[in-house]
Chains A and B, each alone.
Chain A
C-alpha cells in the first residue's frame, strides 16, 4: 500500500514536471531598453503565441512558392542575420537571379519603409512582393491562400491563431508580419555595453565606436544604426537599370539612391551594398575612403570621401563586430528546426 502511494506520488510528480517542460513561454513583443518606440502599429496586429507560430510556419514553408522549393527562409537565413549567405544578388526560383542583395530581417517594427528603394511602406504588404516576383517565388497570393485552405495542417493553425479556420489575405499577411516583428536583435555586446549589463568593450572597440560616431553616424545614426534615408553613396553604377529610389519616386534627384541600411549584425550579413558588390567590411571602408565616384546625386556628405587611416578602419571594424548578436542568430524561437 505504502509502495503504491509512493508510486502514484512519483507518477503525479513526473507528470507535472513533464507538463512544465512542455509549456513554452508566451511570445510577447517588447521594446529593448535602448531602442526608440516602434513605427509599426502593434495595436492593429497584437503579437500572440499562436499567430506567431503560424507566421513562423509560413515563413519557413516552400508552399509560398510556385513549385514548393523556395521559402522566405531560403533567402533570409537566420545564421546570416536573415540574409542569403554568400550571394551578391539573391537567388530565387529556378535559380534565377534577383535585382538585389537580400536585406536582413531584423528590427522591422522600427522601420517605416522596406526594400532598398523603400517601395513598400507597410510591413503587412511586404510579403506579396517576393511571393509574386517571377524570379523569387513566382506564385500568386490567391493561389497561396488556396493551397493553404486545402492543406492538412494550416486551417487548424489559422483556427488556433484567429478563432476560425478562415484563411484570408489579412490573416495570412499579419501572421507573417508577427514572425518578422519578433526578429528583434538587441543583444549584441554593444547593446549589453550601452545598457550596462556587465559587458565591457575593449579599448580598440571603444576607440572604434568614437571614430564611428565622428565619421559614419551622420547616416548610420541612432540605436538602429540608420536614419533610413535614401542616399547615393558614390558607388560606380553597376546595373544602370537599377536606379534605386528613383524607381519609386520617378524623381531624377533620387537616381541611384538606396536606403541607408542598419549595421546591426553587419559582420554576418556579407556581402555588402544593394548589389552585394563588396565581400568584406575592409572593402566597404576602402570605398568610402578612396572609391567615391562623383555624380549629380552623390550625397553631399561624401563629396570628398571619408578620411580614414588603415588603423582607423581596423578600429571601426572592431567596433562594428560588437554589433553581432549571436543570441539573435541562434534564437530557437526564430529558427527553422
Chain B
C-alpha cells in the first residue's frame, strides 16, 4: 500500500517536473514581450458553413433560414499552459460578431504577453456592470448611436444590451400581419438594476486540449472557434419556430441562453512559423 502511494507521489513529481521543464525548454518565451492573437468565430449550421438565406433544419425538424445572426463576445481571458492568465483590458474587451460582416468574425487582441496559451474564456453578452455604466463608457460596439449598432442590440425601453440576436424565416412559424413567417430571438437580460430579473449572461471557457496558441512578438496565432447555430435551437430545450416564433425579454429566453452557451466549440489553431 505504501509502495502504491510512493509510486503515485513519484509519478506526480515527475509529471510536475515535466510540465515545469516544458516551459523552460522554450527559452524564447518572455512575457514582457508582446504579440497578438486572433480569435476566429466561424458560424456554422451542423455540418455546413452558415450562410444567410440558406435552408437548414432544426432539431424539431423545422426548415428555416436566417437573415440575421449576431452576438456580443466580451471580457476575454487567456490562459497559458503554465497557468499565467492574461485578461484583456476591460474597455477594449467588447466585440460584436455578425454573420453579415466577415471582418467582425475575426477578433484580434493586441499586446498579449508571449506564451503558449491553451485556454480561452469569454462572456457571451455584456456584463451587468457595463450595462449600467455612464454613456461615456459605452463606446465602439456598445455605442447605442453607432451605425454598426443600428440593427438594435439594445433595448431602449428596458435599458440593457441584447446579447444574441437571430432572426429568420421558417415555413413552420405562424404568419405575421405582413404574411411573413418570421421568427425572432432577441436574448438578453443582465439581472436587473433595482429589482432582480432574468440573467442570461453566460461565460464560456474553451480548452485547446493538446494544442497551444503560441503568442510571440511579431507572431499572431489564430484560434478557430466554430459556432453552431443549430445548437441554439437544441439542447436541454428544443426550440420550435412553430410554438415559439418570438422570444425576447421573457422567462422562456433562459432556455435559449442555456442552449447557446453550448454552440461555441474549439476547433483548431494556426500557429505562425
Contact = CB atoms under 8 A, between A and B. Distances in A.
A120 interface: yes
Given A44-B136, A129-B156, A142 B146 contact: yes
Contacts, number: 85
A96 to B, nearest CB: 15
B138 interface: yes
Given A249-B197, A250-B251, A44 B156 contact: no
Interface string B102-136: 00000000000000000000000000000010111
A44 B145 CA distance: 19
A142 B197 contact: no
B196 A125 contact: no
A115 interface: yes
Interface residues of B, number: 28
Nearest to A115: B157
A146 B147 CA distance: 9
Interface stretch (B4-12, B70-78, B187-195): B187-195
Given A113-B194, A142-B146, A170 B136 contact: yes
Nearest to A140: B150
B197 A248 contact: yes
B21 interface: no
B249 interface: yes
Interface in A74-108: none
A247 interface: yes
Contact of A251 (B136, B138, B145, B197): B197
Interface in A127-174: 128-129, 131-133, 140-146, 168-170, 172-174
Nearest to B196: A249
B193 to A, nearest CB: 4
A125 B198 contact: no
Contacts of A144: 145
Contacts of A142: 145-147, 149-150
A121 interface: yes
Give the interface size bracket for A toward B.
35 or more
B194 A112 contact: yes
Nearest to B249: A250
Nearest to A118: B194
Query: Taking chain B's interface residues, is the majority helix, strand, or loop, or is none over half, making it mixed?
Result: loop
Contacts of A275: none
Interface string B134-166: 111010000111110110101011110000000
Given A121-B132, A121-B194, A254-B195, A247 B145 contact: no
A169 B146 contact: yes
Interface in A219-248: 245, 247-248
A124 interface: yes
A252 to B, nearest CB: 10
A128 B147 contact: no
Contacts of A128: 144, 154, 156
Nearest to B143: A169
B145 A119 contact: no
A58 to B, nearest CB: 13
B135 A170 contact: yes
B250 interface: yes
Contacts of B158: 119-120, 247-248
A122 interface: yes
A247 B157 CA distance: 10
A251 B195 contact: yes
A280 B237 CA distance: 51
Contacts of A174: 135
30 contacts: A44-B136, A112-B194, A113-B193, A113-B194, A119-B158, A121-B193, A122-B135, A122-B159, A124-B135, A125-B156, A125-B159, A132-B152, A133-B157, A142-B145, A142-B146, A142-B149, A145-B145, A146-B147, A168-B145, A169-B143, A169-B145, A247-B249, A248-B195, A248-B197, A249-B195, A249-B196, A250-B198, A251-B195, A251-B197, A254-B195
Sorted nearest first, the 9 A-B pairs with minimum C-beta distance are A169-B145, A129-B156, A128-B156, A142-B147, A119-B158, A141-B145, A121-B193, A249-B195, A249-B197
Given A122-B135, A174-B135, 6 more contacts: A44-B134, A115-B157, A124-B134, A133-B157, A168-B143, A245-B195
